[in-house]
Structure 1
Amino acid sequence: METMLTRLRFSFFLVFVFTFYDLSSSFSPIDNYLVNSGASLDSTVDNRRFISDSSDSSNSHHLSSPETFSLCAGTLLPGLPQIYHTARVFKAPSKYVFDVKDPGMHMVRLHFHQFSSSKLNLRDSQFHVLVNGLVALTNFSGGNLVGPKVREYLLCVHSEKLEITFVPAERSKFAFVNAIEVISAPQDLILETAQSVNGDKVKPFEGLNQQAFEVVHRVTVGGAKVTPFNDTLWRTWVPDDDYMKSTEGSTRVYFAGRIKYQTHGASREVGPDNVYNSARLIQSKNASIPNVNLTWEFPVMEGYKYLVRMHFCDIASISLGLLFFNVYVNGHLAYKDFDPSAVTNYLLASPIYADFVIDADHSGFVSVSVGPSSKSMAYAVDAILNGVEIMKMNNSVGSLDGELPAESVLKCWPRRSAGILLPLIALVCLLLSLSAIIHRRNTNKVDSVPWSKLPVDVPEVSPKQGKQQLSSRV
């Protein structure tokens, strides 16, 4: 048994989701900044209070901006959270600065909702966003949004400050944001090691928790949408229907019992009950094993590494030791004959997750699959999946959106308009010329005054003596 567990640890990086379910215990982040940008009053969303960023409302953060103003939506949409009814608009590079009391991994969420008012249409925006020197967005445009959009990032913060900088792409453009969240994350949300899958090679990937991530997809498999109100880290998990390559052979399952989080490991914030109590599975209903895999495809951007997190919780088996299946990432076998019960200390309904690092290829998709293995049994569950997360990793220049580092993005902002600069230079040159002419005329007038002898009480100094006196002063 010990040999089996050792092999599992080395060949497949599974993280236990532990700590028994307790309604009285909930995650309470040390750094917890919720900003209602552009608003004069605070707003409450899902029992969370977003603080107005007006200068006299709070000292929890500092806004530095040479040109900014608040904007209110011309038409308020019913049912839309209050934070999307206002926005902070920036006409020049500007930044929010947050104090960091808890160094380590932090979650940063930026809320955007393009609306129009009599003063401005947010669809006309175009800007870049930097987070502590990380390029989060380049040439972002509100016109590309349909309804509210939340961009979520995970990054390790070692400094005492976290800065979020907004840079308009051009002087004719502007930047905006509706709300901001800066939250210290649980220490076990991103651990140090994952498994790198490159073709048929699977090997450890070290230093994962020192990378920066953008959450691209967060999906609950087989279940309904999970809202921030039902997630202890205030995340949104969308249904998997739009990502399944084919539903043939799959069965949905729902679980009404208690999810058994275990001790000595990751917290339950890794995945909420509402993700683990539903799943899709492959089930053998007769003596034959179904010859089918369940596959999900997620659109991604080529040229980046991605963290693929797969969530498993056996809520369907009637007994231990009956579920064996294979796990595939981008079509490559990532784990063979996986037995969840061997990893969960032989408990059913006990959640685990697996982290893989892969390179996005030219296809523009990342795929994950589960399917029967050579150890699958008749009349039993032959594969299961409860949730998937796809996170883009920063590239070599510290960017999650493009090939330019933060320094180059900041230099894109035009310091001065050339059309105004040239006339100013010409005017300065003209003034200097006039000043020189006037000075020359005054000098000529002084030279025409008759020479006067020095007073007799001032001793005469020879050139040689004067040189000696200057040298002695030096």
Structure 2
Amino acid sequence: METLLSRLGFSFFLCLFLYCDFALSFSPVDNYLVNCGAFLDSTVDNRRFVSDSSDSTHTHLSSPQSFSLCAGTLLPSLPPIYHTARVFKAPSKYVFDVKDPGTHMVRLHFHRFSSPNLNLVDSRFHVLVNGLVALTNFSGGNSLGPKVIEYLLCVHSENLEITFVPAGNSNFAFVNAIEVISAPRDLIPETAQSLNGDEVENFEGLNLQAFEIVHRVTVGGAKVTPFNDSLWRTWLPDDEYFKLSEGSTKVYFSGKIKYQEGGASREVGPDNVYDSARLIESKNASIPNANLSWEFPVMKDYKYLVRLHFCDIASLSLGLLFFNVYVNGHLAYKDLDPSAVTNNLLASPFYLDFVVDADHSGIVNVAVGPSNKSMAYAVNAILNGVEIMKMNNLMGSFDGKLPAEMVLKGSPRRSDFLLPSIALVCLLLSLSVFMRRRIDEGDSVPWSKLPMDIPETTPKQGKQQLSSKV
């Protein structure tokens, strides 16, 4: 009996713990999940994506010329939101009510499947998000699998609009699923450090900017899926971007990640990112002369927010880890001491934000390495995660130099080609009609013999008299 009561008590406390943990998890005020082109709702990662069909009360769709499309071959390995698509034959938009002003996450899901009626590979279109040009001449990604494009933007209007505009000769646009979620307040702070060479300045108003997520990687660990992230993000392994393997070590942590107020929250970075890392370690009296380095391809002529995630899960005690941080080859932070940042607490996460310009190489380089304060027989550098976010340019675009007004008018290349062509054709037709008319008029005048007794006159008078005869 005592054993049974003990088990019941343990089960009660376990349920209470799980309930409290669930209650404290992030619950967004605005949480729109749309299953585009579907007639029924779908569940993915314990989240319900609602149908946008005309029968649904949550359609949010304003489109006089759109239709649903179902994949010809359903792949059971893909979530159901990629089995259907909403196809647009004319500019169309989704409108979402904003109840919680501030930063919002917008995710667009694309999968270029084919069906007996239409092949989505032939698509080409533009996408606008709340007046910002998100994509131009986009074809839906590659045919290897779904593509998810994510944006973070500050919204203080009553509505958030996502517009799809067919472009070029494809005559249609499409989307498989849409997420619009209000972000936690601490996701994007007000201030970051702006790097101009080796000079570091404050960048104010960061939380008022708009971003496109270009890279989001977990360093040294396995892929993190939306199921294991409180903001339903995907973190890819860093192997593709990591450039130095000799002298580096992967480390994994099985203890508790100690989130604390003022540091990184679980929404900024999940446990699965902070419980793995790559590091440089001194195993003798000498300090390794090497840096851990990563290279991330980016689009030139844009500013980028570079967020670096740190959590000292490798040091044996406090005050032993000092290292330098470099971005694009410039010293971004000298003699970084995690113990000082985390108020003398190991396994406590934090992050650093830097605003940088992409150089002409189209690469953002991130590196960490030993500093002058690094110690022997200790960890000399560590990194747990990296995020690279593109900032929109002065034209309000993430993809090109055309403002939204011109994008809404259609493909600029096609317009620039057609207008001169039409003008040239009109000019040639006008000349042809004019020349034909002159020839016809010349043929209609009857022939007559010129008079032989023309009096002598001055050239001017003679011209006048000849004119009067004609």
Query: 1:419-469: per-residue Cα shift (whole Å, max 9, x none)?
Result: xx9xxxxxxxxxxxxxxxxxxxxxxxxxxxxxxxxxxxxxxxxxxxxxxxx
In structure 2, how many angstroms separate the alpha carbons of the residues matched to 1:78 and 1:162? 33
Partner of 1:68: 66
Structure 2 residue aligned with 1:43:
42
Q: Tell me: higher relative CO, structure 1 or 2? Use CA pairs within 8 A at least 6 residues apart.
A: 1
Cα contact 1:124–1:142 (8 A) shared by 2: no
User: CA offsets per residue over residues 18-74 of structure 1, 9 Å max, x none?
Assistant: xxx945410000000000000000000000000000111233x42111211100000
Aligned partner of residue 241 in structure 1, secondary structure:
coil
Shift of 1:334: 0.5
Counterparts of 1:172 and 1:240, CA distance in 2: 36
- The equivalent of 2:301 in structure 1 is 303
Unaligned ranges ≥5, structure 1: 1-20, 422-474
CA distance in 2, matches of 1:370, 1:405: 38
AA of the residue aligned to 1:106: H
Please say if residues 124 and 143 of structure 1, whose CA atoms lie closer than 8 Å, have aligned partners that are also in contact: no
Q: Distance in 2 between the 1:211 and 1:264 partners?
A: 22
SS at match of 2:207: helix
CA distance in 2, matches of 1:400, 1:330: 21
Query: Could you tell which deviates more after superposition, 192-201 or 121-130?
Result: 192-201
Q: Deviations over 1:74-124 (max 9, x none)?
A: 001121000000000001000000000001000000000000000000000
Counterpart for residue 342 of structure 2: 344
Q: Which residue of 2 aligns with 1:312?
A: 310
1:179 and 1:73 map into 2 onto residues whose CA distance is 14
Choose from 331, 354, 359 the match for 2:357: 359
Q: Distance in 2 between matches of 1:23 and 1:69?
A: 39
> How many equivalent pairs are there?
398
Show the 5 A alignment for 1:87-106: 87-106=85-104
Which letter does structure 2 place at the counterpart of 1:252?
A: K
TM-score scaled by length of structure 1: 0.82
Aligned residue among 125, 145, 148 for 1:147: 145
CA distance in 2, matches of 1:290, 1:250: 10
Shift of 1:311: 0.2
Do 2:82 and 2:146's aligned partners in 1 also have CA atoms closer than 8 Å?
A: yes
Please tell me the root mean square deviation across aligned C-alpha atoms, in Å.
Answer: 1.8
Distance 1:182 1:139 in 2: 23
Q: Tell me the equivalent position of 1:175.
A: 173
Q: Distance in 2 between matches of 1:225 and 1:237?
A: 6
8 Å CA contact 1:51, 1:58 repeated in 2: no
Distance in 2 (CA, whole Å) between partners of 1:383 and 1:143 is: 37
Structure 1 pair 143–285 and aligned structure 2 pair: CA distance change class (3 A): closer
Q: Distance in 2 between matches of 1:250 and 1:298?
A: 19
Displacement of 1:267 after TM fit?
3.1
1:56 is matched with which residue?
55
- When the two structures are superposed, what TM-score results if normalisation uses the length of structure 2? 0.82
C-alpha distance in structure 1 between counterparts of 2:190 and 2:106, whole Å: 20
* Among candidates 143, 154, 157, match of residue 155 of structure 2: 157
2:405 and 2:105 mapped to 1: Cα distance? 23
**1:384 correspondence with 2:403:** no
Which one is further off, 326-335 or 266-275?
Answer: 266-275
The residue correspondences of 1:257-296 to structure 2 (distance < 5 A) are 257-264=255-262, 267-296=265-294
Please identify, of 21-30 and 210-219, the stretch whose mean Cα deviation from structure 2 is larger.
Answer: 21-30
SS at the partner of 1:317? coil
Query: For structure 1, which segment, 70-79 or 124-133, has the greater mean C-alpha deviation from structure 2 after superposition?
Result: 70-79
Query: Aligned partners of 1:298 and 1:271: how far apart in 2?
Result: 20
Alignment of 1:324-339 (within 5 A): 324-339=322-337
5+ residue gaps, structure 2, are 1-19, 423-470
Query: Is the CA contact (8 Å cut-off) linking 2:326 and 2:367 kept in structure 1?
Result: yes
SS in 2 for 1:270: coil
Q: Which of 198, 215, 218 is matched with 2:216 structurally?
A: 218
